[in-house]
């Protein structure tokens, strides 16, 4: 049985990307906002909901950057759709995960970062994020819809 998730790439007026710092396995990891697809919702609905929960922002989804799949004995069958979104309202604030108790929250920080700032972070997920996302966003700004299929481990 496949378990699905979403992540949302959002830029501000300065072209910086919104990143969230989460704490997992005794380390901080930076990634774009997102989470699991819930029963009865599609990827776009999940992306809008997760963005609001984690950042306080209202978003619209305009494209897909990547679809990443993982099949492993430890974690099972999982996929994550990396969506390209646009901020349409709300106020930036660190949110929370409603499935986790107050003392067990993993979200630590939320902020917009430049390519150079992301490149200086110790742990970014996925590892190829900063190398590939800027070209994808440039194509999106030029009216091209970008979609890339990736498999975990690439």
pTM: 0.86
Phi and psi (nearest 5°) for 55?
-125, -10
Residue found under tokens 């776009």: 44
pLDDT tens by residue, 75-114: 889 899 999 999 999 999 998 777 767 777 788 999 999 9
DSSP assignment, residue 16? Answer: P
Cβ within 8 Å of residue 131, ≥6 positions away:
none
- Indicate the burial class of 17 (C-beta count within 10 angstroms; 0-12, 13-18, 19 or more): buried
Q: What's the CATH number where 146 sits? A: 3.90.79.10
Range of the domain at 23: 2-151
Residue-level pLDDT, tens digit, the chain, 154 residues: 789 999 999 999 999 999 999 988 889 999 999 999 999 999 999 999 999 999 999 999 988 888 888 888 888 898 999 999 999 999 999 987 777 677 777 889 999 999 999 999 999 999 889 998 988 888 766 655 555 444 444 4
Calculate the alpha carbon distances from 59 to 34, 90, 107, 135 in Å.
Answer: 12, 9, 19, 21
- Could you give the number of structural domains in the chain? 1
DSSP codes of every residue in 101-116:
-GGG--EEEEEEE-HH
């Amino acid at each position: 049985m496949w378990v699905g998730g979403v992540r949302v790439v959002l830029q501000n007026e300065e072209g910086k990307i919104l990143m969230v710092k989460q704490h997992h396995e005794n380390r901080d990891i930076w990634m774009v906002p997102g989470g699991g697809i819930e029963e009865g919702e599609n990827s776009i609905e999940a992306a809008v909901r997760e963005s609001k929960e984690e950042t306080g922002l209202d978003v619209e989804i305009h494209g897909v950057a990547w679809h990443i799949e993982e099949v492993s004995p430890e974690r099972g069958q999982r996929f994550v759709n990396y969506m390209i979104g646009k901020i349409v309202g709300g106020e930036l604030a660190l949110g929370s995960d409603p499935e986790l108790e107050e003392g067990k929250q993993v979200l630590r920080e939320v902020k917009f970062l430049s390519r150079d700032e992301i490149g200086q972070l110790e742990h970014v997920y996925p590892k190829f994020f900063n190398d590939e996302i800027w070209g994808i966003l440039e194509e999106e700004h030029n009216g091209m819809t970008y979609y890339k299929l990736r498999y975990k481990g690439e």
